[in-house]
Structure 1
Amino acid sequence: MAITRSTATFFNRVNNRFGFSLFLLYKLPSAWISGVRAGAASEESCTTSVPYRWLSQNPFRSTYFACLAMAAEMSSGILAMGHVYAAPAKVSMLVTGMEGIFLKKAKSKTYFTCNDGASIRDAIAQTVATGEPVALTVEVTGKSKDATEIARFRITWSFKKASS
């Protein structure tokens, strides 16, 4: 009997704050130390956050750009991981490009949202069906609590069906 894995199972795990915090500590310790956290995650959308604090700041009294980039990448990466988790075949994923535009100084917690879950799901389905690698660029927007736009990222993911 085949075991089917669903995106719902994966996103339930991500939305468990304690469990996902342990995952970060084990797999992405630099993100955990700097305070990057997952917020709400579903098949279509994921929001992450990074605080402005001593471990994530730069000398100019704002959040260090690398911490902002980690949170942005994680927003799209959680969506990708969820759809790879539920794929009917093994799929590898890799960031192959990133472009960031910084609009305001991040002087408080910044929230990053990626709403491209459907595009990610379709790209993974395409690589499973054809066996060919698929590259997809997704948009991630970072905003402060008062909805001021802090940064915009374009992250390019490559998905490839793994050899059997």
Structure 2
Amino acid sequence: MNLRTYRFKLWLLGRFKIPLIGICRPRLLEMTNEKIVVRLPLYFFTKNHYGSMYFGAQAVGADLAAGYLGYALCHELNLDSGLVFKDFKANFLKRPESDVYFVCTQGEAIRLQVAESLSTGSRVTRDVIVDAFTQYGTPQQELVSTFTLGISLKVKKR
């Protein structure tokens, strides 16, 4: 997966298709077949009146981490995907008072879901877990929230 290409596609998505994503200014830091890391900065438009990240901005980050990984896996296999979210569960553990990193490590599960949808020709729904951290990758790393998103997808060959 070419990280530079997917960064540009994410920018286009936020700029022209879904402006709310653009307002949150996500940054794609890492993306492999197994894992994605998206950072949302804490700034004027993502901050609430208490100085922590607004839960709506956190929902955007979780949506991106799960959905963009699913999109990328389908794109790599040259498939058209109809990816939607069926449900969304959030567990907020601490107030994130700095940039938040959304990490999804379920690339293999999403790939199996894509394969099942391709073989059956029908829509397949599975839960995907996204964890949100502050100070990700440092000794002070702290889990601030967890999300479970029901990804429903139907794929077909291009």
Q: TM-score, normalised by structure 1?
A: 0.85
* 2:149 aligned residue (124, 143, 155): 155
Runs of 4+ in 1 over 4 A off after TM superposition: none
CA spacing shift, 1:162–1:69, aligned 2, 3 Å:
same
CA RMSD of aligned residues (A): 2.0
Identity of aligned residues (%): 23
* 1:33 aligned residue (23, 27, 47): 23
* 1:102 aligned residue (75, 92, 96): 92
Give unpaired runs (5+ residues) of structure 1: 1-7
Work out whether 1:129 is the aligned partner of 2:123. Answer: no
Work out whether 1:13 is the aligned partner of 2:5. Answer: yes
CA distance in 1, matches of 2:25, 2:76: 28
Q: TM-score, normalised by structure 2?
A: 0.88
Give unpaired runs (5+ residues) of structure 2: none
Work out whether 1:72 is the aligned partner of 2:62. Answer: yes
| Pairs aligned (count) | 154
8 Å contact kept, 1:44–1:117: yes
Give the structure with the higher percent strand: 2
CA shift for structure 1 position 47: 0.5
CA distance in 2, matches of 1:129, 1:89: 13
Q: What whole-Å deviation, never above 9, does each CA across 1:113-142 have from its counterpart, x for those lacking one?
A: 000011101101111011122111011000
8 Å contact kept, 1:72–1:140: yes
Larger radius of gyration: 1
CA spacing shift, 1:33–1:89, aligned 2, 3 Å:
closer
